[in-house]
Amino acid sequence: MSIRLGVCYYPEHWPETMWDSDARRMKALGIKQVRIGEFAWSRIEPSPGDLRWDWLDRAIDVLARHGLEVVMCTPTATPPKWLVDRHDDLLAVDANGRPRAFGSRRHYDFSSDAYFEESQRIVRLVGQRYGNHPAVTAWQTDNEYGCHQTVVSYSAAAQRRFRLWLRARYGSIEALNTAWGTVFWSMEYRSFDEIDAPIGTVTEAHPSHRLDYRRFASDEVVRYNRMQVELLREHSPGRLIVHNFMQMFLEFDHYPVAADLDVATWDSYPLGALEVMWFTPETRARWLRTGHPDFASFNHDLYRGMSAQPFWVMEQQPGPVNWADWNPHPLPGMVRLWSWEAFSHGAGCVSYFRWRQVPFAQEQMHAGLNRPDDQLDVGGEEAARVAQEIEQVTQAAGALGQPRGKVALLFDYSAKWLFEIHPQGEDFLYARFAFEYYSTLRSLGLDVDIIPVEAPLNGYALIVVPPLPVVPDDLAARLQHSGAQVVFGPRSGSKTVSLQIPATLAPGALQEILPIKVWRVESLRPNVSEPVQLGRLQGHATHWRDLIETGDGVETLAEFADGHPAIVRHQRVHYLAAIFDAGLTQRYFEQLAQAAGLEPQRLPDTLRLQRRGGLTFAFNYADTAVALPQVAGATFIVGQPDVPPQGVAIYRPAQE
Ligand code: GAL
């Protein structure tokens, strides 16, 4: 699989006199593909039915003339003003019942029939116009589904479709009443038509109702994207169809959306992410200008696991962004490091956002590869260097296969919704805990595949399951079959699919392979921790404790100070009854990896390794040089055994 660079470009933002020189300079820099058009509806169709293709025809032709491939987008993320004004049910509605106003983007409602039809119309038109253009090699549907909290809408249209969704899921209102447990507080319904969206209630709305509303909203995204994919396949046969997902974004289930695509792509903004995710002020300060060493990787491994063909980074941060509370600039070398990191985790393409910083509107403070005065910026220089290095690596190693870890991390979108709807402890954050398990595995030098709970498990030596509240019925048997060491986080198996407590208590369906019973739970305030003893190692638990009764053959490996089991094991299945501090988690995962026959290697927290296609890639996030461990006899293609700050090394390890 060849690896390549791309860029995001907005010809409609620039005078036409600049297009030729832009395309020539892109080509000279080593760019192979250019994404265009995702926000251009008001220029394609300035008023109803008045289609203006001429400028877009010319823009595509300029790119094609310079030998650049075009990733064409459907412009549905930004319905223009006239379109919004034409229909009264097009806008999404927030939890306070207010329509989301025109004047930015993503204001549409996934459930609006009118918008569905308007989308079909414009996708068909763009598809017909460019579907067979030789320069158009791929399509992006829409842009970043769900960005700016736009998955869930409480519109009348959404409510109507929710009722249909419930009817299809439950068949009868009696089944729904039983599944949800609506007898509580006299919430019983006599028909599906009586069920509203779960908002505006006096105190919390019914959790099962809320969970189903989230599932429904997620399915609406799948439906909407599928409509676009089907039209594009019809009008543009043989082209790749992709969507650009967001970083660590869990508001809809990405797996079924990705299943309809050829390539899952995602938008990587490591410095922005650090500011807006759960990280502590200390962590933010520590990685201020590099991003957290495991954050982009987590997303690479996640999207690799759902992409039929090698995933892409569709938007790569090129310099400071504009949208976080603080927007530092990346240290010199980071744009190159992030690019190689993506390739090492399996990316087929890294595409920078954007070609040139735009001097107007919302994103005028967002860097591009070029400055607004059209001089190449630092990110542009680093991209040019990556392009040269791609040649070097390709010559030395040929096409690179996909990475394949011996360690799997099972990831589940709906776990996030469930813990959010029914938290029991305010700071029980699914994404954070999944990330922390992942980061611990990476700190041990292990390559990780992030896969859905339903994925085949053969070939893995170690399977790590972050807190998984709803365990599918067949999971226990599949884990048993896999032969792998398996470890579960707390609260696993604690709920049924309709969000009730399992009849045999947690971990419910897992009791087949893990004969324990969680008889009580407690959440812990942020300033409270409970001491834990693992062999000679003293650690502590935070956030949560499961109090466990153990059955036959279950061994207690670590205990809380008050005598309750903290880590238990039954044969190859391990259970963590709490969230533990980083040191204890690392020690335990190291033991597990050893038991699984892997060779964990403790790395400094500033050094990360990844293997792809017989090569090892090393990334130094530190301010000082690092000497790579175990590289005697290795052949270096890029860099050396001493990796400078923010440096990259690519080498073929010595044959054993
Ligand atoms: C992404 C989006 C782009 C641009 C970018 C800025 O979320 O897809 O259109 O807004 O962020 O960082």
Q: For ligand 1, what atom is nearest to the CA of residue 39?
A: 9
Rounded to 5 degrees, φ, ψ at 589 are -65, -30
Q: Is 249 in the pocket of ligand 1 (CB under 6 A)?
A: no
Angle at 36 between CA 31 and CA 37, to 5 degrees: 180
pLDDT in the model for residue 442:
98
State the average pLDDT over residues 601-617.
Answer: 97
Instruction: Show the tokens assigned to 279.
Output: 């990280």
Q: Does residue 316's CB lie within 6 angstroms of at least one atom of ligand 1?
A: no
Quote the crossing angle between the two packed helices 173-180 and 207-235, to the nearest 10°. Answer: 120
Query: What distance in Å separates the CA atoms of residue 89 and residue 344, rounded to the nearest whole number?
Result: 45
For the CA of 269, the nearest atom of ligand 1: 12
pLDDT range class, residue 550, cuts 50, 70, 90: very high
Q: What are the backbone dihedrals phi and psi of residue 582, each rounded to the nearest 5 degrees, phi first?
A: -60, -40
656 pLDDT more than 80: no
Measured in angstroms, how far is the CA atom of residue 170 from the centroid of ligand 1? 39
Q: Is the dihedral of CA 426, 432, 434, 439 positive or negative?
A: negative
pLDDT digits (tens, 9 = 90+) for 387-416: 999 999 999 999 999 999 899 999 999 999
The closest-lying atom of ligand 1 relative to the alpha carbon of residue 246 is 7
Distance CA 229, CA 139 (A): 9
pLDDT in tens, 116-160: 999 999 999 999 999 999 999 999 999 999 999 999 999 999 999
Paired residues of 4 in beta bridges: 349
> Of the CATH numbers 3.30.390.50, 3.40.50.880, 3.20.20.70, 3.50.50.60, which one belongs to the domain with range 407-595?
3.40.50.880
What residues pair up with 315 in beta bridges, in sequence order? 267
Neighbour-count burial of 422, counting CB atoms closer than 10 A to its CB (0-12 exposed, 13-18 middle, 19+ buried): middle
Kindly state if the Cβ of 144 falls inside 6 Å of ligand 1.
yes
Check if the beta carbon of residue 295 is closer than 8 Å to that of residue 246.
Answer: no
Distance CA(138)–CA(69), nearest Å, equals 8
Ligand 1 contact, 366 CB (< 6 A): yes
- Fold adopted by 4-76+113-151+230-397: TIM Barrel (3.20.20)
Is 234's pLDDT higher than 90? yes
**Helix or strand or coil: residue 96?**
coil
Would you say the CB of residue 421 lies under 6 angstroms from ligand 1?
no
Q: The pTM is what?
A: 0.98
Mutate to test the pocket of ligand 1, among 144, 149, 266, 322 (most ligand atoms within 8 A of CB): 144
Domain residue spans of the chain:
4-76+113-151+230-397, 407-595, 607-652
pLDDT of residue 1: 60
1 CB neighbour count, 10 Å cutoff: 15
Any atom of ligand 1 within 6 Å of the Cβ of 447: no
Instruction: Say how many residues make up the chain.
Output: 656
CA distances 473 to 234, 466, 491, 507, Å, are: 38, 17, 16, 12
- Cα 206 to chain centroid distance, Å, stands at 28
The mean pLDDT of the chain is 97
Tokens in use for 139? Answer: 């399509």
**Nearest C-alpha to atom 12 of ligand 1 is from which residue?**
321
Residues with catalytic function: 144, 315
How far is it, in rounded angstroms, from Cα 358 to Cα 13?
A: 8
- CA-to-CA distance for 186 and 497, rounded, in angstroms? 22
For the chain, how far is it from start to end, CA to CA, in angstroms? Answer: 26
Query: For the chain, what percent of residues have pLDDT higher than 70?
Result: 100
Report whether the peptide linkage leading into residue 507 is cis, meaning its omega lies within 30 degrees of zero.
yes
At 226, list the tokens. Answer: 């599928």
Whether the pLDDT of residue 171 is over 80: the answer is yes
Confidence band for 379, pLDDT divided at 50, 70 and 90: very high
Average pLDDT over residues 311-333: 98
pLDDT band at 220 (very low <50, low <70, confident <90, very high): very high
**Pick from 88, 90, 34: nearest CA to 60:** 34
pLDDT computed for residue 655 by the predictor? 80
d(CA 11, CA 7): 12
CA distance 593 to 53: 57
Place of tokens 């470890």: 487
Pairing of strands 642-643, 626-627: antiparallel
Helix (H) or strand (E) holding 580: strand 578-580
Q: Whose CA is nearest to atom 10 of ligand 1?
A: 363
pLDDT tens digit string along 235-282? 999 999 999 999 999 999 999 999 999 999 999 999 999 999 999 999
* Torsion sign over Cα 578, 580, 586, 588: negative
Of residues 166, 206, 158, 161, the one with CA closest to residue 182: 206
pLDDT in tens, 448-461: 999 999 999 999 99
49-86: per-residue pLDDT in tens?
A: 999 999 999 999 999 999 999 999 999 999 999 999 99
For residue 459, what are the contacts with CB-CB under 8 A and spacing of at least 6?
A: 404, 406
Nearest-angstrom CA–CA distance, 297 and 295: 5
CATH architecture of 607-652: Sandwich (2.60)
pLDDT one-digit tens code per residue, 492-522: 999 999 999 999 999 999 999 999 999 999 9
Q: What are phi and psi of 522, to 5 degrees?
A: -145, 145
